[in-house]
Structures are given as C-alpha cells and as structure tokens.
Amino acid sequence: MFDFSDFYQLIAKNRLQNWLNVLPAQLTEWQNQPHGDLPKWMRVLKKIPMDAPSTIDLKDSVTIGTEDELPAGQRAKIENLLRAFHPWRKGPYNVHGINIDTEWRSDWKWDRVLPHISPLKGRYVLDVGCGNGYHMWRMLGEGAELTVGIDPSELFLVQFEAIRRMMGNDQRAHLLPLGIEKLPELKAFDTVFSMGVLYHRRSPLDHLIQLKNQLVKNGELVLETLVIDGDENAVLVPFSRYAQMHNVYFFPSAKALKVWLEKVGFVDVRIVDECVTTIDEQRTTDWMTHNSLPDYLDPNDPSKTVEGYPAPKRAILVARNPD
C-alpha cells in the first residue's frame, strides 16, 4: 500500500544501513495490518501533484511555492484535497498561498528550541513522535543532511506525504509509521528530538534509554515534554485523563527530568526553556475544527485543567550522550 523502497535504497548507502536488518520486516507487518481510513486517504494523496515548486522556504516557515504560480482552479482543487486530511494539528504550512492554519503553532515551539541546540548543518536527525513532520522541514531549513521521523499515526503519515509531494518528492525527509519501541539500537543519529512524547510513555526512563541508543557518541538529545512546578522529586501521575488526553503517565518537574536524564547516562544536561502553553498556541481553527486547549481548561480558573491539575506547562532540556 505504501512504498518505502526509496528509503531502503537511501539508507543502504549510509550509516543507517544496519537498520535494514529489521526495518523491511517491520514495515511489511505494518502494511499487512488493517488501517481504517488509510486506503481512502491514499486515493486522495495520489491526486496531489508532485511537481517541484518555484520556491521553498524552510528557514523561517514552511512555505511551498507562490499563490500566482498556479491557476485559481488548481489551487482550489489542491485545497480540497488537503482538507480531506482533517484534522490538521501541527503546522502552519503555506502551500501556493493556501494557509493551513493548524491547531498548534508548532513554529513557536521551534523558535523556543532552536537558539539552544547545536547547529543542525550536515547532521543526521531523528524526530521521535514527529507528528505530520512540521519540525522535520524546519530541521532541513537549518541544513540537516537527513531527517527521519517516526510516528505511529496514519493520518500524520499522509499529511507528511502530501507536503513532501508538493516539495517535489524531497528525499531528505522520511516519515516511518513506527513507535520508538520498534527501533533497534542504531547509534547513528547526531541529534535526536523527542517532543511531546515522554508523557505518553508508560515507562519514561526506558524511553530516555531508547532515545540514547539512537545517538552517536557525543550526539545531542532535545527533549520537550509537559512538566509541573517543583523540585527534583516532584512528579504528577494523573489518575485518568489530563486536559482530556488519554494515555498520559508521568509529568515530572524540569528538575526531576534533569535527574532522570543523568540517571540513564546523559551528561551536560541543561534546562533551556519552561513556559505555560497559551490558548493562542493551541486552539481550534478552520483546519482543526474539534475541541482544543481553551475547552480543556477550567472556565473559572484557566491555571487549571478541567480535571483540576495544573494547566499545561512545557520544558525543553538538551543533553549529550557521552557513550
């Protein structure tokens, strides 16, 4: 159903080649599972043109082509095709003047991350839980040699592939529909990002070890997750939902997270940013019409979630793998 052969050919010639010992079997298994709406989305995806646009900006935004490059009728057709992949959560994207106004201002997160990380020029980058790949394009904008994203969501895979087609089938970015737990110890990436994933993992220290196992010696981890206020021993484990999210487990303080990273062997651990998520950063839009953060906060006290927990606050930590 999905063709990963370009990626296999690419990594056969580079330092990710050991991955070929397990990856084709895993992705064949994935292909053979039932996939809900994916066949329908694939039919839409194939209608999206694969022509290289006249201009691409990945440095300051993700902007593909210009408005006047395409006849109005063709632009309207592309917009309809892209809307078939609702809800668009991560972005924004601008495609031939079509402004995909996503639930999240993922560019704001990128602006908080970028000043604190090693330059990405020439690097092999892994983005764990990459969503639809928004940050992968921004990583290429910073000169990364290759970005590989992994995310189990099928909708995010088709959204990513739609954008990639309109980039002229760019081969510098690849998204694989896998969870982090499926990765062997590749020890091959210069930078590994895990943003918005840790609180979804039942075993957060194992998650940190899995991330470490993907890094080359002296490679850099960029970790972003929901945190609470408090000292090295503070951690919240919500009883059930948090801000209406299922499958959430550990919300440490940034200081506790630093200890966890050191405990599993990272060094030079730095807490580089902490900020409360505003309702301007995560909200309902024309491209994501479901409920969003404003609906998940206590209407009488927006410093709390509807469940009575502290409202979402996120921290960014950067660390080095010495091994």
Ligand X SMILES: Nc1ncnc2c1ncn2[C@@H]1O[C@H](C[S@+](CC[C@H]([NH3+])C(=O)[O-])CC(=O)[O-])[C@@H](O)[C@H]1O
The binding site for ligand X (CB under 6 A) comprises 90, 106, 109, 128-131, 150-153, 156, 179-181, 195-197, 200
* Phi/psi at 173 (5° precision): -130, 130
* Residue closer to ligand X, measured from CB, 65 or 189: 189
Q: How far is the CB of 293 from ligand X (least distance, A)?
A: 11
Q: How far is the CB of 106 from ligand X (least distance, A)?
A: 5
Rounded Cα gap, residues 84 and 283, in angstroms: 20
Q: Please check if 90 is assigned to a binding site.
A: yes
Q: How far is the CB of 38 from ligand X (least distance, A)?
A: 14
Q: How far is the CB of 104 from ligand X (least distance, A)?
A: 6
Are the CB atoms for 245 and 211 separated by under 8 Å?
A: no
Long-range contacts at 232-235 (CB < 8 A, ≥ 24 apart): 232/256, 232/258, 232/259
Q: Please check if 77 is assigned to a binding site.
A: no
Q: Please check if 314 is assigned to a binding site.
A: yes
- Furthest CA-CA distance within the chain: 59
* Residue closer to ligand X, measured from CB, 75 or 89: 89
Q: Please check if 152 is assigned to a binding site.
A: yes
* Residue closer to ligand X, measured from CB, 234 or 245: 245
* Residue closer to ligand X, measured from CB, 65 or 133: 133
Rounded Cα gap, residues 188 and 215, in angstroms: 6
CB-CB neighbours of 125 under 10 Å: 25
Q: Please check if 50 is assigned to a binding site.
A: no
Q: Please check if 274 is assigned to a binding site.
A: no
* Residue closer to ligand X, measured from CB, 137 or 156: 156
Which residues sit in the known binding site?
90, 104, 109, 129, 151-153, 180-181, 195, 199, 314
